[in-house]
Amino acid sequence: MSQSKKTQSRVVGLVLNGGHSTRMGRPKGEVIYHGVSFLEHAIRCLQQTTIEQLYVGLKDKKPIQGENNDTSRSTLLSRENIQLCYDEFGDKGPVGGILSAIEHAELQVGDILLVIPNDMPKLRSQYLEALLEHARCKLQSCYFESNYFPVAFYLSNENIALLKTVKSANSVSMRYVLSGAISISLNDLQGKGLKVSRDDFHNINSPDMLSM
């Protein structure tokens, strides 16, 4: 479908929640940080933006086990405007999860997928909305300098073709699929009056990092 035929772009959000969490020792989405699970924080961040639909990406269809009720599959499915999608490409990293979500949501050229990982418990919705603003205005994928996540993935024919290489490759890097994306300086956000901390973009990958 050509972009010129679309009357309005869809903007949907995706939480990547299907990693192995080897260093953490348990599913990262279930980890509690300041009273809230990693997954719940990510969901709240996306819900506070202008997306129209939210997806939680899972590795497979096995039940989510954990002590935190908000991460259970049944609880997620019962919540309004949240859908689950599954990684159809196995252990090929986040690119496989992103392409799975695009195909599951039937996104097309001109749509935007706002993607965040489940291990950034300090991330704020204001950052995400800034990414969406850039993606809408520039009609290009956008991410913040030195951080491939979060990313507002603008779907062009070229970007979709880059993502689809994951179907035949052992793995595809985010650096590769974002080769034509815009890298936004955090200083630009400060210039617009948004208080920015680089700590907000830290990935918490192991128990010892929870004290950060």
Residue 55 in any domain: the answer is yes
Assessment of whether the complete model's pTM goes beyond 0.85? yes
Beta-carbon count within 10 A of 45 CB: 23
Q: The domain that contains 172 carries what CATH number?
A: 3.90.550.10
Q: Is residue 3 part of a domain?
A: no
Residue 21's domain spans which residues?
Answer: 9-211
pLDDT tens-digit profile, the chain (212 residues) = 334 445 578 999 999 998 877 778 788 888 999 999 999 999 999 999 999 999 999 987 765 555 455 557 777 867 878 999 999 998 889 999 999 999 999 999 999 999 999 999 999 999 999 999 999 999 999 999 989 999 999 999 999 999 999 999 988 999 999 999 999 998 888 777 788 899 999 999 888 888 87
CA 70 remoteness from chain centre = 18
Q: Output the six-digit token pair for 66.
A: 């954990």
- Asked if residues 4 and 106 have their Cβ atoms less than 8 Å apart, the reply is no
- Does residue 108 belong to any structural domain of this protein? yes
- Domain assignment of residue 2, yes or no: no
Question: What domain count does the chain have?
Answer: 1
Task: Say how many Å lie between the first and final Cα of the chain, rounded.
Answer: 46
d(CA 103, CA 163): 11
Listed as own residue / partner, the contacts of 208-212 with beta carbons closer than 8 Å and 24 or more positions apart are: 210/31, 210/33
In a domain, 1, yes or no: no
Residue 118 belongs to a domain:
yes
